[in-house]
């Protein structure tokens, strides 16, 4: 019976620092300074446009002028209050957004731990569920770094030791059934990677621009046709192509590092014409 044990170092929930907010006193002082500067600039501009040369001194003012002064005072107080409310509301929004991101990251970490444990299960059906769960987590990841972590685990699963079909004990049906189940899980990983690399880079579920480490992976088939390898590091150094068809036809973008090129292309490896060297 072939079992797969995917052992990863213990993960700690990502500790994201809180929002870097200045003290309220400093923010309010800067806001008032900016408001006074703007008011002074507007007043000076109006003064110049009206070509005012001076103020007429008055020892007494009438009731209308006094009322205008009172309205002006109340307007200044109201403006100051509105400015304070705006600053406080902005800070509250920043704190709420950061708290929401922390909650989303915590939930992502919990789901990630469950999915990784499924990859190490003895049941092929459970492992398939773990593969799809990780792909879904990558799609819903709140940050680029968390998406890359999910992709790294899927690639690490492919890098696990893998026995080719030709090396199975002759007549051992149990070993063959276990092999076929494991191959189905591995080919599902490859297919999901291909599907996400086919999506336009602007698509919110596209994996273009991320890193894919296939170093030393044993490929006994897999469809990567029409995948777009743009941005990120994609490496096939030391990869083994043993039987089956690994199809890259229609793929575009930069040639992945370490991928065999003519005349060293192994049987079953099908490359797009745009990657082949010109004669």
Asked if 135 and 194 touch (Cβ cutoff 8 Å), the reply is: no
| pLDDT of 190 over the 90 cut | yes
Q: What percent of the chain has pLDDT over 70?
A: 72
Q: Where does the pLDDT of residue 11 fall: very low under 50, low under 70, confident under 90, or very high at 90 and above?
A: very low
Q: Diameter of the chain by CA atoms?
A: 116
Distances 257 to 235, 236, 253 between C-alpha atoms, Å: 5, 6, 12
DSSP per-residue letters across 1-12 = --------PPPP
Helix boundaries (H) for the chain: 24-49, 63-119, 124-140, 144-159, 173-198
What is the phi-psi region of residue 244: left when phi exceeds 0, alpha when psi lies from -120 to 50, beta otherwise?
A: left
Q: What pLDDT is stored for residue 53 in this prediction? A: 57
Distances 55 to 10, 45, 94 between C-alpha atoms, Å: 76, 16, 46
Average pLDDT over residues 197-222: 96
Q: Where does the pLDDT of residue 8 fall: very low under 50, low under 70, confident under 90, or very high at 90 and above?
A: very low
Q: In 3D, which of 237, 247, 243, 236 has the Cα closest to residue 266?
A: 243
| pLDDT of 13 over the 60 cut | no
- Which has more pLDDT, 79 or 197? 197
Mean pLDDT, the chain, rounded, equals: 81
Q: Give tens-digit pLDDT for 136-177.
A: 999 999 899 999 999 999 999 999 999 877 777 777 888 888
């Amino acid at each position: 019976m072939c079992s797969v044990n995917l052992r990863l170092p213990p993960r700690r929930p990502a500790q994201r620092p809180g929002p870097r907010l200045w003290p309220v006193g400093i923010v309010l002082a800067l806001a008032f300074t900016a408001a006074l500067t703007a008011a002074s600039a507007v007043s000076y501009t109006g003064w110049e446009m009206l070509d005012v040369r001076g103020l007429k001194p008055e020892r007494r003012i009438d009731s209308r002028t006094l009322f205008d002064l009172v309205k002006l005072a109340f307007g200044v107080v109201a403006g100051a209050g509105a400015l304070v409310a705006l600053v406080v509301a902005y800070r509250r929004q920043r704190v709420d957004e950061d708290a929401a991101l922390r909650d989303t990251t915590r939930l992502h970490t919990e789901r990630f731990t469950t999915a990784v444990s499924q990859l190490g299960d003895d049941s092929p059906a459970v492992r398939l569920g773990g593969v799809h769960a990780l792909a879904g987590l990558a799609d819903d990841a709140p940050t680029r770094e968390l998406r890359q972590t999910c992709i790294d685990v899927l690639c690490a699963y492919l890098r696990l030791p893998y026995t080719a079909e030709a090396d199975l004990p002759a007549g051992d049906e149990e070993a063959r059934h276990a092999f076929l189940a494991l191959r189905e899980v591995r080919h599902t990983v490859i297919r999901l990677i291909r599907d996400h690399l086919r999506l336009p880079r602007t698509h919110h579920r596209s994996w273009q621009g991320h890193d894919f480490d296939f170093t030393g992976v044993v490929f006994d088939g897999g469809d990567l046709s029409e995948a777009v390898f743009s941005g990120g590091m994609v490496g096939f150094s030391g990869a083994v192509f043993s039987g089956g068809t690994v199809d890259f036809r229609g793929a575009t973008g930069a040639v992945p590092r370490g991928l065999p090129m003519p005349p060293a292309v192994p049987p079953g490896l099908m490359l797009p014409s745009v990657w082949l060297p010109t004669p």
